[in-house]
C-alpha cells in the first residue's frame, strides 16, 4: 500500500501498548481508525487521545477469540466509515509454564486469542478488501518468539510461530490481489503483555500468590511502543513483510537457522534420502 492517508484502518488490542501506538501512528498519517479492544474503558481513553489528531476515530468493543464479535467489528467499521483497508490483528496475551503442568483450558485460551484472533480478522475482513478492489494491508502481530523458542513460554512460542507461518503464506497468496501482509515480530517493548496471563481461565478470576515473572524485567526496560507504532505504519506503506525491532536478537535467529542447516545437512548426507 503506497499511502495510508485517506484509508480506513482497524486495530485490535488498541486499548494499550503496541496496538495503541500503531493506531496513533496510522491516525497521524491520515487514516480513519476503528479502535477495537476487549476493555471499553481503555477504548474510550484512546479515542479521546486520538481525536486530538482528527475526529475520524471510532471504537468497537471486541473479543477477537469470538468470530461473531469480529464480524460485528467489521459491520461497525463499514457502517461508520464505509470501507476497511488496513487491518491490524494485534490483540494478544502471554502464557508460560512447564510442559505437563499447563491447564488445557489455558492452552485453548491463548490459541483462541493469539492465533484464532488473527485468523478471525483475516477471514472476516479479506472478503471486504477484495470486494472493494482497492488493495489493502494486513498486519499480524507475532513476536520474536515466533522465530526463537524462549524456555518457559511454550504456549506463547507456539502461537507466535503459527502467526509467522500463517502470515508468510498470506503474503504469497494475497499478492495477486494487491493486498500486502506484514508480520510484526517485536522483542521487548514496554507494554502490559507480561500481566495478561493473570486472566487465564484456570485462575477463575482469583489473584494468584505473588511470583516472579520471567518476562517482567525485560518488558519494563523494553523499547518505547511509539517507535514500534511508527515502524509498523512505515512498513504498511513500504510493503515490508517482517518487522523486527531488536538487532541485538539477530544472533538468536541466526543460531536457529544454523541448527536447521546442520541437521538438514545430516539428512542430505544419508543415502536413504539421496533421491528425495
Q: Measured between alpha carbons, how far is 192 from 71 in angstroms, rounded to an integer?
A: 27
Catalytic residues: 156
How would you classify residue 6: left for phi > 0, otherwise alpha for psi between -120 and 50, otherwise beta? left
| pLDDT > 70: percent of the chain | 95
Residues forming a β-bridge with 179? 136
pLDDT category at 212 given cuts 50, 70, 90 is very low
Residue 192's pLDDT is what? 86
Residue 52: C-alpha distances to residues 6, 20, 49, 146 (Å): 17, 14, 6, 35
Give the pLDDT band of residue 233 (cuts 50, 70, 90): very high
pLDDT band at 131; cut points 50, 70, 90: very high
The share of the chain scoring above pLDDT 90, in percent, equals 89
Alpha carbon 40 to its chain centroid, in Å, reads 20
Bridge partners of 153, per DSSP, are 97
- Is 8 within 8 Å of 85 (Cβ atoms)? yes
Determine the Cα angle at 130 with ends 128 and 133, to 5°. 110
Q: Which CATH class is domain 8-245?
A: alpha beta
pLDDT over threshold 90, residue 220: no
**Residue 1 — pLDDT band, cuts 50, 70, 90?**
confident
Q: Give the model's pLDDT for residue 222.
A: 84
Q: Residue 215 above 80 pLDDT?
A: no
**Measured between alpha carbons, how far is 146 from 183 in angstroms, rounded to an integer?**
10
Residue 242, strand partner residues: 183
> 211 pLDDT exceeds 60?
no
Q: What is the mean pLDDT of the chain?
A: 94
Residue 209 has pLDDT above 70, yes or no: no
Which of 62-66, 174-178, 190-194 comes out lowest in average pLDDT? 190-194
d(CA 17, CA 101) in angstroms, rounded, equals: 29
Amino acid at each position: 500500500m503506497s499511502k495510508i492517508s485517506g484509508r480506513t484502518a482497524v486495530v485490535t488490542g488498541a486499548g494499550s501498548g503496541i496496538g495503541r501506538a500503531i493506531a496513533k501512528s496510522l491516525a497521524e498519517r491520515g487514516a480513519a481508525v476503528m479502535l477495537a479492544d476487549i476493555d471499553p474503558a481503555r477504548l474510550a481513553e484512546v479515542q479521546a487521545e486520538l481525536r486530538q489528531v482528527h475526529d475520524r476515530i471510532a471504537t468497537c468493543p471486541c473479543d477477537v477469540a469470538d468470530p461473531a464479535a469480529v464480524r460485528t467489528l467489521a459491520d461497525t467499521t463499514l457502517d461508520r466509515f464505509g470501507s476497511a483497508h488496513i487491518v491490524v490483528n494485534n490483540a494478544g496475551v502471554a502464557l508460560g509454564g512447564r510442559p505437563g503442568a499447563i491447564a488445557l483450558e489455558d492452552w485453548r485460551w491463548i490459541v483462541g486469542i493469539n492465533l484464532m484472533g488473527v485468523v478471525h480478522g483475516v477471514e472476516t475482513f479479506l472478503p471486504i478488501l477484495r470486494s472493494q478492489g482497492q488493495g489493502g494491508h494486513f498486519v499480524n502481530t507475532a513476536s520474536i518468539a515466533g522465530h526463537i523458542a524462549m524456555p518457559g513460554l511454550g504456549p506463547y512460542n507456539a502461537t507466535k510461530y503459527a502467526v509467522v507461518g500463517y502470515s508468510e503464506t498470506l503474503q504469497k497468496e494475497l499478492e495477486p490481489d494487491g493486498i500486502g501482509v506484514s508480520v510484526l515480530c517485536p522483542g521487548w517493548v514496554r507494554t502490559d503483555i507480561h500481566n495478561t496471563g493473570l486472566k487465564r481461565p484456570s485462575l477463575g478470576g482469583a489473584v494468584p500468590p505473588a511470583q516472579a515473572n520471567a518476562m517482567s524485567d525485560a518488558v519494563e526496560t523494553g523499547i518505547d511502543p511509539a517507535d514500534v507504532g511508527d515502524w509498523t505504519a512505515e512498513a504498511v506503506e513500504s510493503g515490508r513483510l517482517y518487522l523486527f525491532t531488536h538487532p541485538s536478537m539477530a544472533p538468536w535467529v541466526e543460531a536457529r537457522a544454523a541448527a536447521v542447516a546442520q541437521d538438514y545437512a545430516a539428512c542430505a548426507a544419508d543415502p536413504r534420502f539421496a533421491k528425495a
